[in-house]
């Protein structure tokens, strides 16, 4: 598996179709994207059109994660820098998703490494997210260093009930260090495993 990371400044029709397909692939396994079931054609078009407009205007930065072999979109993340001069050190990260088949292969760590580097280059010191409490995503963000700064009890409503949401942040430099350390630890484990087989 060989992922490629690209920051896009436009979303052409082919990309929009890939985006909707990725959403539906993830929605089939969990309802954390704000949609309890697969997107209809109308919903998909509305999401893609709105996102394409925001990316084109520069209000949202789109990180595409592609399978280098097939060119398929296997993950994404949206970064929304704060446009106020006094808050330009902050950006909100949203829709950080990986296709189910590509999870547990280190793609998330590489994506976060790319996001941390991108933010540091842009002088963005704080990355903010919000996520459903006790979800898989909440556990993952906590594991990589995001810290809670607030809870909204009535964050999301589904047929299953109401769910609390957690608002979290991480400093870009700390995220970079955390991801670099994880890569080094993974490399060390691989090296030890290879030596034990010789």
Q: What domains can you pick out in the chain, each with its CATH number?
A: 3-196 (3.40.630.30)
Angle at 108 between CA 105 and CA 113, to 5 degrees: 120
Is pTM, for the whole model, over 0.75?
yes
Say yes or no to pLDDT of 187 above 60: yes
What is the mean pLDDT of the segment spanning 58-70?
A: 96
Residue 28, classed as helix, strand or coil, is: coil
Say yes or no to pLDDT of 191 above 70: no
How long is the chain?
A: 198
Cα–Cα distance between 127 and 149 in angstroms, integer? 12
User: Cα Rg for the chain, rounded, in angstroms?
Assistant: 17
**What is the chain's mean pLDDT, rounded?**
91
Cα–Cα distance between 146 and 127 in angstroms, integer? 9
For 86-104, write each residue's pLDDT tens digit: 999 999 999 999 999 999 8
* 3-state percent breakdown (helix, strand, coil) of the chain, nearest 5: 45, 30, 25
Residue 158's pLDDT is 83
124's CB contacts (< 8 A; 6+ apart) are 81, 88, 89, 90, 91, 172
For 29-39, write each residue's pLDDT tens digit: 876 667 878 89
What is the mean pLDDT of the segment spanning 54-61?
A: 96
Closest by CA position to 93, among listed 123, 69, 71, 63: 63
Contact 91, 81 (CB under 8 A): yes
Contact 94, 165 (CB under 8 A): no
Beta bridge partners, 94, equal 78
User: Which two three-digit tokens encode residue 89?
Assistant: 């050190």
Residue 30's pLDDT is 78
Answer with the residue of higher pLDDT: 34 or 51: 51
């Amino acid at each position: 598996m060989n992922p490629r990371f690209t920051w896009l400044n436009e979303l052409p029709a082919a990309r929009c179709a890939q985006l909707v397909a990725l959403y539906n692939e993830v929605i089939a396994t969990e309802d954390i994207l704000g949609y309890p079931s697969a997107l209809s054609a109308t919903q998909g078009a509305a999401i893609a059109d709105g996102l394409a407009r925001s990316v084109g205007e520069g209000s949202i930065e789109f990180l595409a994660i592609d399978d280098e072999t097939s060119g398929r979109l296997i993950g994404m993340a949206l970064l929304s820098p704060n446009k106020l001069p006094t808050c330009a050190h902050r950006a909100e990260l949203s829709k950080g998703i990986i296709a189910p088949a590509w999870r547990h292969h280190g793609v998330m760590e590489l994506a976060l490494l790319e996001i941390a580097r991108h933010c540091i280059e842009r002088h963005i010191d704080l990355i903010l997210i919000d996520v459903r409490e006790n979800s898989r995503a909440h556990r993952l963000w906590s594991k990589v260093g995001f810290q809670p700064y607030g809870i909204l009890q009535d964050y999301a409503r589904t047929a299953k009930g109401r769910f609390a949401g957690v608002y979290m942040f991480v400093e870009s430099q700390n995220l970079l260090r955390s991801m670099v350390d994880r890569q080094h630890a993974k490399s060390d484990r691989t090296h030890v495993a290879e030596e034990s087989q010789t």
